[in-house]
Amino acid sequence: MLHETVLVFGVYLVACGVAWVLHESAHYAVHSLYADSVSFGINRRGPYVDAVYEPTAPTLAIRVGSVAPTLFYTPLVALGIAGYLSTYPLPQLDSVGWSLVAVPLAILTIPTGADIRACLEAAQ
């Protein structure tokens, strides 16, 4: 029983880590198209992307780069969920089970506070 709990929690942590890296990779991919320099790193808060733009860079490019994971992964997640539900019935999970599924998907698709702030500050 304890072994199964540790395994489930470990898989959950790996899923969250992969979702976070994919989230930041989407930022990196879009920022690298227009930014002068882009860096990808890991600090105590987790992975991050820093992009430096010229003052003449298009504001739309900065804004799209800031919310790239939401724009890219949300349709994929929605299609994946719809495809799953068209083939299988809705799983009967308890609240803990649903949180183990929902949290990595939220990390992947929902913009963070820094993402929203960068999008709003792009016009300045």
Per-residue pLDDT reduced to its tens digit, 76-115: 999 999 999 999 998 888 888 899 899 999 999 999 888 8
Prediction pTM value: 0.85
Three state DSSP letters for 5-49: HHHHHHHHHHHHHHHHHHHHHHHHHHHHHHCCEEEEEEECCEEEE
- pLDDT band of 124, cuts 50, 70, 90: low
* Per-residue b or e along 34-54, where b marks 16 or more CB atoms closer than 10 Å to that residue's CB: bbeebebeeeeeebbbebebe
Averaged over 60-71, what is the pLDDT? 89
Give kind and range of the element (H or E) at residue 80. helix 68-87
pLDDT, tens only, 10-54: 999 999 999 998 998 999 999 888 888 998 888 887 788 888 888
